[in-house]
Amino acid sequence: MLDLRQPWSIGPVEIPTRLVLAPMAGVSVQAFRRQGRRFGAGLVCSEMVSSAGIEHRNERTLGYLRVATDEHPLAIQLFGSDPAAMAESARMIEAAGADLVDLNFGCPVRKVTKTGAGATLLDDPEHASRIVSAIADAVDIPVTVKLRRGMRDGSRDCLSVGPRLVDAGASALTLHPRSAQQMYTGTADHALTAELVSLVDVPVIASGDIVTHTVAREVLERTGAAAVMVGRAAQGNPWALEAIVDGTVREPSREEIVAELVLFVREAVGELGARRASGFLKKFYGWYLGHGRFPREFRQQLVVLDSTDEVEARLFAAAPGAIGLVERLEAEIPPGDAVTLELPISIYGGG
Return the closest-CA partner of residue 207 out of 351, 30, 108, 28. Answer: 351
Alpha-carbon distance of 59 to 75, in angstroms, equals 22
The catalytic residue among 90, 100, 107, 134 is 107
Decide: helix, strand or coil at residue 5. coil
Instruction: Report the C-alpha gap between 242 and 182 in whole angstroms.
Output: 29
The answer to whether residue 45 is catalytic is no
- Report the Cα 271 to chain-centroid distance in Å: 17
Q: Give the whole-angstrom CA distance, residue 165 versus residue 135.
A: 12
Q: Is the dihedral of CA 107, 31, 17, 70 positive or negative?
A: positive
The DSSP letter of residue 102 is E
Query: φ, ψ for residue 292 (rounded to 5)?
Result: 75, 10
> Are 133 and 86 spatial neighbours (Cβ–Cβ below 8 Å)?
no
Helix axes 190-199, 213-223, angle to 10 degrees: 40
Query: Which residues share a beta bridge with 50?
Result: 79
Residue 3 φ/ψ, nearest 5 degrees: -110, 115
Beta-carbon contacts of 35 under 8 Å, excluding residues fewer than 6 positions away, are 238, 260, 263, 264
Give the other-Cβ count within 10 Å of 167's Cβ.
12
- Return the active site residues: 107
